[in-house]
Structure 1
Amino acid sequence: MADTDLLETPLASLHRELGGRMVPFAGYAMPVQYPAGIMAEHLHTRASAGLFDVSHMGQAELIGEGAAAALEKLTPADVQILKPGRQRYGVLMTETGGILDDFMVANRGDRLFLVLNASRKHLDIPAIEAVLPAGVTLRPLPDRALVALQGPGAVPALATLAPGIAAMKFMDFSEFEIAGVPCLVSRSGYTGEDGVEISIPAEQAEAVAKALLALPGVMPAGLGARDSLRLEAGLCLYGNDLDETTSPVEANLVWTMGKRRRTAWDFRGAERCRDELDNGAKRLRVGIQPEGRQPARGHTPVQVSGEVVGEITSGGFGPSVNAPVAMGYVARGAAADGTALELMVRGKALPARICPLPFAPHRYAR
């Protein structure tokens, strides 16, 4: 895709002003890093607070009586039990039991608020619309920006502008005025750290972002740090660790499937999930710790005793753990923690082992 064909977020001019190096991502021009560099942005987020532009994500509202029940046709998440002011993570399913997308859903009281992946929103929206009964409407919100303020210093800094945010717990969702602008705030994120995601009217996004960057300890961070942070946290990236061939059982996302839903089996693709829970999935998503210092990237073949048993889906260097880290799918028989592996990197077998996720401990505000 030529640069001239790329979409821009409401913060594009601010990224350039801050020296962001812009790259194509999911059809958008996005900052991969700023002058400090990916390593510095990553470590600063773990120690203090990083501000990420995630406005490329799809935001939408589901309005009308029966909205939660309608959404449950596509997801095994228990949406109907979600209380006002709470949010949860889930997956949207295909007919064959694969994952169409992963998403966030929050209960705003009179409506549901959805956040969809940038690369999948053009598929998610018609899929959701196709299952809606009369009286329930999906309303995309292209006129809103989305930023993530992440790290142990994020909420203390933000609370100087909106004190009520300090009382929120992990996955709480509420409305606050920040720098004079009405915003939607969830205490969640994609780094494994405490923090918030803030939905802002697009025309006021730059003013809010500048107010956040002016807070003590906050620095801008790009896609590079976002990727290394989420990998250390063992969090999936759609298109790498999840796709339409992957089931929630294989992906080790059974925890996203509500107990009631695993009794009724009344969601799209349920037959495959039920079979894999009863009989075991052929492969599983696992953490992989390469030995030594050389990272193994996505699509690296994984072997046990010379036999290919899977492949890496996400891999790189983990700045916080000061070592290479990876996730991937391996045959169920090779998925036990401690299993010795060989990773085929440029024709050379590098030793590795299966290890528990996450690599860096989650520090959410429970």
Structure 2
Amino acid sequence: MFRQTVSRASGAARKGMGMMSRRGMASDAPKEELMETGLYDFHVKHGAKMVPFAGFSMPLSYGSVGQIAAHNHVRNSVGLFDVGHMVQSFIRGPSAPAFLEWITPSGFASLPHFSSQLSVILNDRGGIIDDNVICRHDDTTYYVVTNAGRRVEDLAWLKEKIEQWNESRADKVEMEVLENQGLVALQGPEAPSVLQKLTPYDLTQLHFGKSTYADIAGVRCHVARGGYTGEDGFEISIPKEHTVSITETLLQGPVQMTGLGARDSLRLEAGMCLYGHDLNEDISPIEAALAWVIPKSRREKGEFIGSGTVLEQLKDGPIKRRVGLIIDDAPAREGAEIFSDTQEPIGVVTSGIPSPTLGKNIAMGYVKSGFHKKGTSVLVQVRNKTRKATITPMPFVPTKYYRSPGA
């Protein structure tokens, strides 16, 4: 069964969403067709510059605070992001873990309750339809967060696969999409102290990759420790009728509202992929350096969609690999060509920025296998000139996750 609980917040939302990547900075969708999260009016009230993004009208920045200042504030203090455009859902049923292990290469049957797993939904060729985070609440209930820019593709694929799965089974699964459920990310070293003041739950017991239900200012919310910045922090799912009030409550003390500009530079410093740029349906998880989402048992048995390609690449190696680069002199942007030191074309940049934290030009991209090793010298074409670059491990900036002892 495939269910959707639908209640749009505005007429603009009812007109649908543009088709693009979740975190890209532009969309071809006309302004009147953009959807709005439950915080749209809140953003306008706080001086946000709103831009089209993954079919939504989303904040790029706030007031006179620039992207670099906002970025540094998250690294040094705490920022609050609206990520309510992401698709939240539940997949439920006696065979839910087996279903998820069919559509992804990850392991869910033995995942501890209220633990999360980054994973990927694969097509028949082993290409990545979307990356996602899946949290096991209990033996039959999984909370899933997927990308706004892949909403149409994801939901169509999941509907098809659920129907196919349920055709000849008594232990069926169903999916419920949580329309208009609020989702905010509180990120930065001061995030725990801010949130602890608002909840009786002892946050020292909540480690990276874990989640719980906790009261925040008297409202029951789903709180997951993690995020997209590399910093300590939380992603908080809020009942739609309380989204604005809880967000207002969180916006206290050192907390600053933070937009897409800083979010993009923070995630790239943390070495995190951006779907539609660093990931797409022609890239496998092995090529994307995401083999770590595939546990040993899945590598031995396969039995997931796209396993033929994935297992072959695990055995023989992929023809290309995702890498990090530090580039001399000038920042490289998406699409910049990468060459060997003998001028052989070997790859392309998929994301690139001047790093506010490091003061260096960093980038992510794909190169032919053999050129992917740490310290390899390459050349990158930037503004009609080749610049020296070095293959560099990611994350560029060390992560600061709050991990359990021994993790």
Instruction: Tell me, yes or no, whether TM beats 0.5.
Output: yes
- Asked if residue 257 in structure 1 is aligned to residue 285 in structure 2, the reply is no
Correspondence list, 1:131-170, <5 A: 131-132=161-162, 133-134=165-166, 135-164=172-201, 165-170=203-208
Correspondence for 1:54 among 83, 86, 98:
83
Report the count of equivalent residues.
364
Question: For residue 149 of structure 2, what is the aligned residue in structure 1?
Answer: 119
CA deviation string 1:142-175 (max 9, x = no partner) = 1301100001110111011114233200011110
**Aligned residue type for 1:241:** D
Q: Is the 8 A contact 2:86 2:146 kept in 1?
A: yes
**1:34-58 residue CA offsets vs partner (Å, 9 max, x unmatched):** 1211111110001111100000000
Is 1:2 the counterpart of 2:43? The answer is no
For residue 230 of structure 1, the aligned residue among 267, 291, 296 is 267
Work out which of the residue numbers 109, 118, 130 in structure 1 matches 2:160: 130
> What's 1:45 paired with?
74
Displacement after TM superposition at 1:129 (Å): 2.8
2:336 paired with 1:300: yes
**C-alpha separation in 1, matches of 2:303 and 2:358:** 42
Comparing 9-18 with 119-128, which one deviates more in the overlay? 119-128
What does residue 351 of structure 1 align with? 388
Q: Where does residue 188 of structure 1 map in the other structure?
A: 226
After TM superposition, the score normalised by the length of structure 2 is 0.88
Contact 2:75 2:231 (8 Å CA) reproduced:
yes
Post-superposition offset of 1:255: 0.3
Between the aligned partners of 1:291 and 1:143, the Cα distance in structure 2 is 44
Deviations, residues 223-244 of structure 1 (Å, cap 9, x unaligned): 1111000000000111111000
Higher mean Cα deviation, 103-112 or 23-32? 103-112
**For 1:63, which of 92, 113, 116 is the aligned residue?**
92
- For the 8 Å contact 1:88–1:106, the answer to whether it is kept is yes
Provide the rounded CA distance (Å) in 1 between the counterparts of 2:90 and 2:402.
26
Q: Deviation of residue 100 (structure 1)? A: 0.4
Q: The residue matched to 1:274 in structure 2 has which SS?
A: helix
Taking the TM superposition and a 5 Å limit, the aligned residue runs for 1:328-343 are 328-343=365-380
Work out the CA distance in 2 between the residues paired with 1:346 and 1:358.
26
Match of 2:361 among 324, 337, 360: 324
Q: Counterpart of 1:260 in 2: which secondary structure?
A: helix
Deviations 1:248-307 (Å, cap 9, x if unpaired)? 000000000121111111101111111111111100000000013x21001100011211
Amino acid at match of 1:56: H
Identity %: 41
Does the residue aligned with 1:288 lie in a helix, a strand or coil?
Answer: strand
1:14 is paired with a residue of what secondary structure? Answer: helix
| Conservation of the 8 A alpha-carbon contact between 2:115 and 2:136 | yes
> Are 1:200 and 2:242 matched, yes or no?
no
Give the Cα–Cα distance (whole angstroms) in 2 for the partners of residues 63 and 131 of structure 1.
14
Please give the alpha-carbon distance, in whole angstroms, between the structure 2 residues aligned to 1:47 and 1:163.
Answer: 25
Q: Distance in 2 between the 1:322 and 1:182 partners? A: 41
What's the RMSD between the two structures over aligned residues? 1.0
CA distance in structure 2 between the partners assigned to 1:41 and 1:79 by the alignment? 37
Q: Tell me if structure 2 keeps the 8 A contact 1:71–1:128.
A: no
Q: Is the 8 A contact 1:94 1:269 kept in 2?
A: yes
* Aligned position for 2:102: 73
1:174 aligns with 2:175: no
Matches of 1:163 and 1:329 in 2, distance apart?
Answer: 46
Aligned to 2:56: 28
**Whole-Å separation in 2 of the counterparts to 1:92 and 1:81:** 19
Q: Deviations over 1:297-322 (max 9, x none)?
A: 01100011211100000101111111
Q: CA deviation at 1:346?
A: 1.8
> What SS does the aligned partner of 2:379 have?
strand
Matched residue SS, 1:350:
strand
Query: Does the CA-based 8 Å contact 1:156-1:166 persist in structure 2?
Result: no
Answer yes or no: is the 8 Å Cα contact 2:183–2:238 preserved in 1: yes
